[in-house]
Structure 1
């Protein structure tokens, strides 16, 4: 049975699963779907088009599936998908999609800290930690297990690789490849994310292989030449293939 505060508003067309807790002054719009065991503390807004999974906790002031901050948006039917087991802290805002992709998606087991923003058509993976007041523009992709510190500004269309650590206060308009630390001003490559990789069970040999891949990649003035060296000199594990694929498919270029 759902526990709904008498001071909350739930639209009669909203679809709720079981055992949800909806606190006072929450607002749940029509065309929304909630799974099971979600907790919404006071003053949470679930806007039109939200699709929410199970076991998520939303803190006061969070606003999910907001109208996109995109002047090209003309009211088309789009959605915002939130997976399972996420902690979405105070005043987090997540926009729904536009005609470009139709969906904004946040995966599972993420911690989204206070006052951060995910714009329209972003695709975010699993196991992410995103710090206070960090802002992502539209159509950003963020792969699994990235740690993105506080007060970061990310340009639209960027791609953030998995297992990265990004220093607080950074701003960037190029892609950040996987497994690295990015920081300083301007934002640049600061080495392999040793601590993060060890915490996720990467062996020393694999970490060394990743380090060698970036040594070869950045030793060349032209990234294509670095990729050729990686492919010719290193063992092509899934992790090295991921690095090569990431760099070769980058549309904005990678940080150097």
Structure 2
């Protein structure tokens, strides 16, 4: 193990022999750090945190810290579980869980830029990017292949579907369905995330079908239930199923077009 003399690993922490640990870093008892992780300077990994292999944690980041929830007490703390190949840049903060059984869950290959935050009991999928100071409140669900721009604030319990982009300085108070761009002081849909869809291999036909589905659901003048039903009949596809299932499962309501 390549460990700086000033670093501290408490008794009861499990750290793989291949992990690199920089100066003034603290790994608390109860933390588990898998192979080939790199913990840089002044990092703190709290007890109850599990990092999968090949994660990079940069200067000043804190993983598994006490939830910012006034009802929290240490005996009710739940874990933070992190997959593989994530990058947590300077001063990122991820809270441990407090209310959901699985605690806070971060998937794999995510990139958290400096000062970004995921609150307690969040569920973050794979291949997402959170830009500087982007903030997910507690219980937020972020699917996969999403781009959350700088200084975005996502309300607790909101859901963000796959392949979405949230514009900078946006406040997200309702669910954002898959494949879309959302923007504004209170987020509204402004169109398809065409760049993101192209980069992730969606064909011209798929993109056209997604656009037609959203036009039918939101622009046809029908009641939402009618639009969802007709979309499934007229445009059968995995993308349509994903859109309809996301909207039908919404409890906060889904953002519409501005």
Do both proteins adopt the same fold according to a TM-score greater than 0.5, normalized to the shorter chain? yes
Residue 47 of structure 2 corresponds to which residue in structure 1? 48
Residue 146 of structure 2 corresponds to which residue in structure 1? 146
Residue 157 of structure 1 corresponds to which residue in structure 2? 157
Following TM superposition, by how much is the alpha carbon of 1:126 offset from its aligned partner in structure 2, in angstroms? 0.3
Residue 17 of structure 2 corresponds to which residue in structure 1? 18
Distance 1:99 1:165 in 2: 28
1:102-126 CA distances to partner (integer Å, 9 max, x unpaired)?
4101100010000011000000000
Contact 2:210 2:239 in 1 (8 A): yes
Following TM superposition, by how much is the alpha carbon of 1:209 offset from its aligned partner in structure 2, in angstroms? 0.3
Distance 1:102 1:185 in 2: 32
User: Aligned ranges for residues 239-250 of structure 1 at < 5 Å?
Assistant: 239-250=239-250
Following TM superposition, by how much is the alpha carbon of 1:186 offset from its aligned partner in structure 2, in angstroms? 3.0
Residue 251 of structure 1 corresponds to which residue in structure 2? 251
Residue 186 of structure 2 corresponds to which residue in structure 1? 186
Distance 1:107 1:60, change over 3 A: same
Distance 1:74 1:168, change over 3 A: same
Distance 2:82 2:200 in 1: 24
Contact 2:16 2:35 in 1 (8 A): yes
TM-score, normalised via structure 2 length: 0.96
Residue 5 of structure 1 corresponds to which residue in structure 2? 4
1:49-71 CA distances to partner (integer Å, 9 max, x unpaired)?
10000111111010000011112
Report SS of the residue matched to 2:5: coil
Coordinate RMSD, CA, aligned: 1.1
Following TM superposition, by how much is the alpha carbon of 1:222 offset from its aligned partner in structure 2, in angstroms? 3.1
Structure 2 unmatched runs, 5+: none
Report SS of the residue matched to 2:11: coil
Structure 1 unmatched runs, 5+: none
1:183-215 CA distances to partner (integer Å, 9 max, x unpaired)?
133311111111110110000000000000100
Contact 2:16 2:33 in 1 (8 A): yes
Distance 2:232 2:195 in 1: 26
Contact 1:77 1:102 in 2 (8 A): no
